[in-house]
Amino acid sequence: MRKTQIRFPDPYVPTAILVVQTAFLGDVILTLPLIKAIRERFPHARLDFLTIPASKNIAETLPYIQQLWLYDKHGKEKGIVPLIRLIRRLRHGKYDLAFVPHRSLRSALLVTAAGIRIRIGFHNSAGKYLFSHLVPYHKGMHEVERNLQLLNPLGGAPEGKPYPELFFTPRDHATVSDWLRRQGIGGEQPFVTLAPGSVWATKRWPAAYYSALAQRLYAHGIVSILVGGPLDQDLADRIQHRAGPAVRNAVGQMSLRQSALLIQQSKMLVTNDSAPLHLGVAVRIPVVAIFGPTVPAFGFYPWGPHDQVIERKELDCRPCGIHGGHRCPVGTHECMLELKPERVFMSVLTKLKELGVIPSHREQP
């Protein structure tokens, strides 16, 4: 790792700061503690955030930032000409400090071409030679902690174990309350949320397994509510068709914030290794995460006090990729298919009993 090229004055007081995170939604959620820590470190600086359109619903209510930049790099702003336009717009922001947790070359180019003097990123970034300061990317660390390490050149990360925070509007609360009322769910009636979707096919626990889990929970008086985005609707419909009255389907009917608020009102979230996992952590709900092609060692696991990861540790083919894939590279998908519904149900049941949701003396039906 090269030496720092620019020395900070003491005290260092930036006037305008930009944070760039244009990876997946889960990565954006795990960047929120860094944004909050930057605001606490520099309370009087202008703090702006550049992210993807898919994250707008989460980022637009953040109280830490002044301006939200949206970059549709895979859509209408794909290509070099929109990139140049964005760089010109960023130059008008007159930023003097940038934090770039995203390890892409494009993100490093953005802050460099925008004329930002202090540019802090990870040492394994594809654009590492474009940063003024490099920070080690520790593979054995949770992503939240890794992102906070970007503050090390400025005195270090805050102490403690910070969680992402989400901020809801009165409309969010009204929407979720009305939806639950229409479903006949209210008062103290317990329910769990299930997030069966993922961009990557190999990360999805089978739909039939989610249906079986929901039916087993329903036998204990627990309704399951499916959450997810519009792309998950066909999958959710299959699960609901199999599970019948055990399941209510909220997939595609709510915004990200509203889905997170629905998760918050549940007793537990059962999810694949995908963005809803991080929503569950952000709203402090116990999370049971099902990991197949990926592993917790990558640093994207749930880390609340009641969270749990279920996986097939003994498989030599795991992990087969950092993101998962569209098909199993060895053709068996054993990492998911051999995680039978009974195993997940017993883990969920045990946790619900520990939390007092289900009486510990109740016999298994």
What is residue 5's predicted lDDT score, i.e. its pLDDT? 54
**Sheet with 46-51: strands ordered across:** 67-70, 46-51, 16-20, 97-100, 118-122, 133-135
Instruction: State the CATH architecture for 16-154.
Output: 3-Layer(aba) Sandwich (3.40)
CATH code, residues 170-354: 3.40.50.2000
Report the run of H or E that residue 51 belongs to, with start and end: strand 46-51
What is residue 198's predicted lDDT score, i.e. its pLDDT? 94
What is residue 187's predicted lDDT score, i.e. its pLDDT? 74
Domain 170-354 in the same topology as domain 16-154: yes
Which residues, 6 or more positions from 156, have their beta carbon under 8 angstroms from its beta carbon? none
| Local confidence pLDDT in tens for the 365 residues of the chain | 444 456 777 788 899 999 999 999 999 999 999 999 999 999 999 999 999 999 999 999 999 999 999 999 998 999 999 999 999 999 999 999 999 999 999 999 999 999 999 999 999 999 999 999 999 999 889 999 999 999 999 988 888 789 999 999 999 999 999 999 999 997 778 999 999 999 999 999 999 999 999 999 999 999 999 999 999 999 999 999 999 999 999 999 999 999 999 999 999 999 999 999 999 999 999 999 999 999 999 999 999 999 999 999 999 999 998 888 999 999 999 999 999 999 999 999 999 999 999 887 655 55
For the chain, the structural domain boundaries read 16-154, 170-354
Q: Is 96 exposed, middle or buried (0-12, 13-18, 19+ CB in 10 A)?
A: middle
What is residue 155's predicted lDDT score, i.e. its pLDDT? 85
What is residue 2's predicted lDDT score, i.e. its pLDDT? 46
Contact between residue 142 and residue 299 where contact means Cβ atoms under 8 Å apart: yes
Helix H segments across the chain? 25-29, 32-41, 56-59, 80-91, 105-113, 143-148, 170-182, 207-218, 233-243, 256-264, 275-282, 334-337, 341-354
Q: Which residues of 271-280 are buried (b: 16+ CB within 10 A; e: fewer)?
A: bbbbbbbbbb
